[in-house]
Structure formats: C-alpha cells, structure tokens
Structure 1
Amino acid sequence: MGQPLNDVALDTIFRTARSYNGYTDAPVTEADIARIYDLLKMGPTSVNQQSARFVWILSQEGKDRLASFASGSNADKIRKAPASVIIGYDMDFHEHLPELFPHAPEARNWFPTDEGRREHAFRNSSLQGAYFIIAARALGFDTGPMSGFDNAKVDEAFFADQPRVKSNFISTLGVGDPSTIYDRSPRPAFDRFNRVI
C-alpha cells in the first residue's frame, strides 16, 4: 500500500502546478523524455492496453512543422517551447495484448470492432496523456496541453507510416516561465459537481 505524499509533492503535482504558455531556456533532453515516459507508462489503463503513442519533438524543424497545424496562439507556443509532444492512440492496440496482458491470452478478441477499439484507445490514451502531465510535473517540468490543431494534418505529417495511429492532443514541455501564466482560474467546491449516494 502506498504512503500519502507530503504537501510539497502535492503542490508540485496539483495545487500550485499550472499549465504554461511559455518556458525558460532550460533544455529538455532525450534522457528527460525517457524518464517521463518511464513514469507515465506505470499508470493504469484498461487491460494494460498502453494505447497511447507519443511523438516527442525536440528539433526546431519538427516544432515548426507541428506549429503550422495549430490554431491561434498555440502555434507560437509550440515554436518557442523547448519541446512538444503529440499524444496519439493506436487503433490496433489489441494486437499487443498477448504481450501486455499475458494472463488473458484471449484479450485480443475482446475488441472485435473498430468502433469499440477507437472508444477504448481514445479513453486510455487520454489517461496516459494525463499521466504524462503528472510525470512531467513530478520530475520538475511543466506542460501546456492543447487541442487547438488540425488532427488530420497532424496525423498525415507525423503518423503517415502508422495510419492506424490518430492524434488525441498535443502539449508543450519545459520549465515554465511564471510570467506567461494568468491568475489561476476558479476551481469548484466539492458540493458543486459531486454527489455521494
């Protein structure tokens, strides 16, 4: 059984963490990305399906290309960030289940239709995208998740060799510059959107 995190850790991951619009000049390295991935992959997904597929972009050429498919101010955020990541989902995640969920060899057959696979892949890649945000924060980085982009163009540009992989959302990544954020938006009290029955 896990132990409760202290207030510093809870602040780092949730209470004082923010989504950033800009970053310092501190770099993001391939080693940093590997450390983030090694944490986020431990988060739970349905039947350990690990449906998310990540494209980590460190080169300016790659960031410029991704930015060309983003809308509004998102393009500039992507160009200027130390790194960006595309969180996609694999429609054929079920083909990997014999390896990833070995105690149920029949699990591949639990997802017989594209419609059902899309629902599961999208949901679980969204979870893994959230784990990415938490892992990045836990390791001292900040993120700027966004959905304002042309999914079809991103898929064509970054997943052309994997046509069964589709983009879910994208995020910038780096060490956040506090001058680029607004005051925190309101968060609702428990009784606003919760019921206990």
Structure 2
Amino acid sequence: MINASKTLLVLATPVGHTAANPSRDSDLITLFLCGDVMTGRGIDQVLPHPSDPHLYELYTESALAYVELAETVNGPIRKPVAFAYIWGDALEELERAAPDVRIINLETAITKSDDHWKGKGVHYRMHPQNIPCITKAKIDCSVLANNHVLDWGYPGLAETLQTLQRANVKSAGVGGNVTEAEAPAVFEVAGKGRVIVFGLGSTTSGIPR
C-alpha cells in the first residue's frame, strides 16, 4: 500500500477469536486500504472549490498545467466535476464490497494556507470546501504520516486536522504534539471487534525534521 518509509500498521481484533475458536466468515473484519491519495494540483482545480493554482515547483508554476495535460490526453473535462468524479467506478465496487473500515493514506494538505514549505520540491494542497471528494467514498480514516502533510506549513496541518474532524474522518500519524501523533485511530466494528490504526513516517521518505 505505502512504501517502506511510510508505514501503516492496522491491528484488527475479532471478538472472541482464539486459536481454539477461530473466527467464522461472518466475524471477519474487512478493510479498504488505499494509497497514495493525492487530491491536490489538477484534481483540486477541477473540483467545485479550486485553490489558488500557483505552485512552487521546478516543472510548472500553475496547477492548471496538470489539467491541460490531462485534457490533452483524454479530451475536455467539463468543470467543475462532481465530488464523486475522482473515484470513477471504484465507488460502486466499494459499495458492493462494503468494507467495515475504509482507510486512505492522504498525501495532500487540506488548507487555504499559502505558507508553503520552503525548499521542498512539491506541495500538494486541496481547498477545505472540496472535502466531500473524500467523504463521498465514506472514508473512515486518513493516515497523514507522510511527506506531504506539512507541504503548507503548520497552519496547513492544523486546518487539515480541523477539516477532517468536521467531516467525521479520523486521522492517524499526526497531531498537535508527539502524544497525539503517536495515538492510534480506533474503530469499533459492531459484533466483530476493533480496528486500531497507527501511522508512522521517516525522514527517508522526504518528511522534514
């Protein structure tokens, strides 16, 4: 799901499960694991509430360049697109599978902050009002222990956490202090057990110290 420098640890504990009393199929906890989810740049620009498209990259200074690239290959995109658009046929498949907990590695800050991290080559940002593109997939948990969570500084991180909280999406791997960052996201799955999600990251994946 994620490279070795960005680790997602998920512990699922079925109710009453022991070696002598293995779980039945009806007791199994099912998970949707998705990474990396990047909703900035061109994706943010075609959604109903695009951020300022200015970028601080060597390749381009505008996120609109990524929209133009996509349209060159695939044809015109009728903007703004619906929030569910970015998931394509995956939403129907998700509903069919009906996983107990849906977890993503969100590699994009959700913020209006313009305080980009100086010296970093890539900065992903999605406008907070575009959060329905996450909730349309009924995501339960966003793991944020990655090299993009601070792309727009500490104000961007704070707004990301606030936006997710307002949307009832739990987070793992970050926080206002070390204790909060190390704390897992916990989900009680009715009649089945508990899912505990930890998010860990390292500087070898580009995470600033």
TM-score, length basis structure 2: 0.26
**Higher relative contact order at CA 8 Å, sep ≥6: structure 1 or structure 2?**
1
TM-score, length basis structure 1: 0.27
Query: Which protein has the bigger strand share?
Result: 2
Query: Which protein has the bigger helix share?
Result: 1
